[in-house]
Amino acid sequence: KQEVTQIPAALSVPEGENLVLNCSFTDSAIYNLQWFRQDPGKGLTSLLLIQSSQREQTSGRLNASLDKSSGRSTLYIAASQPGDSATYLCAVASNDMRFGAGTRLTVKP
Amino acid sequence: GAVVSQHPSWVICKSGTSVKIECRSLDFQATTMFWYRQFPKQSLMLMATSNEGSKATYEQGVEKDKFLINHASLTLSTLTVTSAHPEDSSFYICSASGVGRNEKLFFGSGTQLSVL
């Protein structure tokens, strides 16, 4: 059974810092990996989708990498802003979709 | 882009009543829909996977007779919480994917259920 772990559970940084969120998974036989953000009381917003054949995807200040063989993905956020404050979830698609517990990010002005 | 519509956003009901939550894909055919539940300060937990025209596959520990899932068409899946109790109060969210497993997953906006 696929298990997805995210580290750290919470992260607080001053505005402007670059930061990295980590996601690891136990079964490397995946179809894709997706990063989401969740704002309190709201649904999920998809940020980046990496297919199993890809190594990274970029969107604006966000860059996600995937190392399938080692079961790891990172989400890099450049020049963080207070509006980036949210919970970030990674989800791994294999036979189903498994989520990590998320990293709660706070960017302080 | 693709949009998934989920209704209602909020529902408050009395204990013992049933609540139906709808999840619609607005501009694509959703061959697979997933239903998740999230308790406060916890991660999303997959409840069940439904494929159009077939019975849903439930995760271990999820009562299929309590959480009825119907995926009768390629654009609509419903989750009915039968005889709801306060412990069923949670945030429920659906997601849908189109043809092929490499399709991106799109999420509804979620339903906050409060059972009194």
Average pLDDT over residues B74-88: 94
Say if residue A40's pLDDT is above 80.
no
Tens digits of residue pLDDT in A5-38:
999 999 999 999 999 999 999 999 998 899 999 8
Q: What is the pLDDT of residue A2?
A: 84
CB B7 within 8 A of CB B26: no
Cα angle B62, B114, A38 (rounded to 5 degrees) comes to: 75
Q: Which residues, other chains included, contact B76 with Cβ-Cβ below 8 Å and sequence gap of 6+?
A: B22, B23, B24, B25
Burial class (CB in 10 A: 0-12, 13-18, 19+), A51: middle
Q: What is the pLDDT of residue B99?
A: 62
The residue to which tokens 């009194």 are assigned: B116
Average pLDDT over residues B88-110: 78
Which band of pLDDT confidence, cut at 50, 70 and 90, is reported for residue B72? Answer: confident
Mean residue pLDDT of chain B comes to 87
| Interchain contact, A43 vs B112, CB within 8 Å | no
Q: Considering CB atoms only, which of A43, A49, A101 is closest to B43?
A: A101
Q: What is the pLDDT of residue B100?
A: 53
| Interchain contact, A41 vs B112, CB within 8 Å | yes
Tens digits of residue pLDDT in A65-105:
999 999 999 999 999 999 999 999 999 887 667 888 899 99
Which band of pLDDT confidence, cut at 50, 70 and 90, is reported for residue B97? Answer: confident
Q: What is the pLDDT of residue B110?
A: 86
Q: Decide if B116 touches A, using CB distance below 8 A.
A: no
Q: Which residues, other chains included, contact B40 with Cβ-Cβ below 8 Å and sequence gap of 6+?
A: none
Nearest CA in chain A to B41: A101
Q: What is the pLDDT of residue B51?
A: 85
Is the Cα torsion angle A68, A69, A73, A76 positive or negative in sign?
Answer: negative
Tens digits of residue pLDDT in A41-59:
666 788 998 989 999 999 9
Tens digits of residue pLDDT in B34-69:
899 988 767 678 899 888 888 899 988 999 999 999
User: How near does any CA of chain A get to the CA of B45, in Å?
Assistant: 7
Q: Which residues, other chains included, contact A34 with Cβ-Cβ below 8 Å and sequence gap of 6+?
A: A46, A47, A48, A49, A50, A90, A91, A93, B104, B105
Q: What is the pLDDT of residue B101?
A: 47
Say if residue B102's pLDDT is above 70.
no
